[in-house]
A and B are shown apart, each in its own frame.
Chain A
Amino acid sequence: MTSEPLESRPALPCATDETRNLVESLSGFGIPQDEIARLVGIDPKTLRFHYTDQIELGTIKATAKVAQNLFTMACKPTREGLSAAIFWLKVRAGWSEYAPKRVEEPLGKKEAAERDALTAGDGTEWGRLVN
């Protein structure tokens, strides 16, 4: 008895340079992966499997490009440059009244006791007597 060969899974559409550029651009614009997959005509899981680099690099490249542009603007002595500079300093340098205050780590019990011991005699007769 001979068995019929099983029908193999249909070949996946090959990733071309065109689709790679498309995925990278769309990912950089922030389009959700489900929608990119639909546009390319593949399943979202297939998209993540075959276009991992494009999905990751798209966002990085887009952000870098905008940052470069913002930086160039911020360095210009124009009105737009001033706004860009203010934005840059607020976001990157923390020059903002809304920036979270840096909270110092509270000292441990032993650490605090040792620190207090060093200054315990200050201003008293003990301070003159002991080292």
Chain B
Amino acid sequence: MEPWSLAVPDWRERIRAGRSLLPDLPHLNRAQAKRAIAIFNKLRLPDVIGTPALAVAGADWFREIVGALHGSFDPVARERMIREIFLLAPKKSSKTSYAAALMVTTLLMNERPRAEFLLVAPTVSLAHIAFSQALGMVDKNPDGFLRKRLHVQEHLRKITDRRTKATLEIKAFDTTVLTGVKPTGLLLEELHEDIHGDTWICFDADQCFPSDCLHH
């Protein structure tokens, strides 16, 4: 099956009109998308006064991405119809916080045992910021569910789902030398290579390593 196209040739008009930059996705699994968005909304921004939930503080444009990505899994074919998303967003648009929230959501939505999720940042300080956001989201969960469900290892920058044993690791890597991993989902933060962009999200990435992605 062909992956879904996310092309929106009328993007100029859409931006001017304040419309969504995601095309209509008629085959979207709405229940899964809704569930992912609900999880995303329950996470809290740990570095904002009052630690507001993303339901209040999150932006709709990113919620759409969360929904599309998780709702694109075809349960019959057992295939994800959106395998890659490239996101180019300006500074100060909470990209790192959203990236961390997306990966925590993905870890909680995941059903695959011992799946590996990676959030890769080009420098240690960026990786630290991303991990600090993810860690804060787990810590600031008011009912303590996430602290019970997820095992955080700060020294490894690793979060493990105790039920599925799936892991989310936040690594600092030069994205051209990322080897020795077999990730189920990969999020590249701050991509400054062949193409200038910020975030490259790559799911079911068994055969799709960053160097391949860059040439698509």
Residue interface mask B34-60, A partner, CB < 8 A = 1: 010011001000000000000000000
Q: Which residue of B lies closest to A131 (CB)?
A: B111
A126 and B42 contacting across the interface, CB-CB below 8 Å? yes
- In angstroms, how far is the closest chain A Cβ from the Cβ of B54? 14
Q: Does A113 have its Cβ within 8 Å of any Cβ on chain B?
A: yes
**Interface size of A by Cβ–Cβ distance < 8 Å?**
13
Q: DSSP class of B's interface residues: helix, strand, loop or mixed? A: helix
Q: DSSP class of A's interface residues: helix, strand, loop or mixed? A: helix
Q: Does B149 have its Cβ within 8 Å of any Cβ on chain A?
A: yes
Collect the chain B residues with CB atoms within 8 Å of residue A125's CB.
Answer: 38, 42
Task: With A126-B143, A130-B108, A130-B109 as known contacts, state yes or no: A120 contacts B149, CB within 8 Å.
Answer: yes
Collect the chain A residues with CB atoms within 8 Å of residue B143's CB.
Answer: 124, 126
A126 and B145 contacting across the interface, CB-CB below 8 Å? yes
Collect the chain B residues with CB atoms within 8 Å of residue A107's CB.
Answer: none
* Residue positions of A touching B, CB distance < 8 A: 113-114, 116-118, 120-121, 124-126, 129-131
* Residue positions of B touching A, CB distance < 8 A: 35, 38-39, 42, 108-109, 111, 143-145, 148-149, 151, 162-164
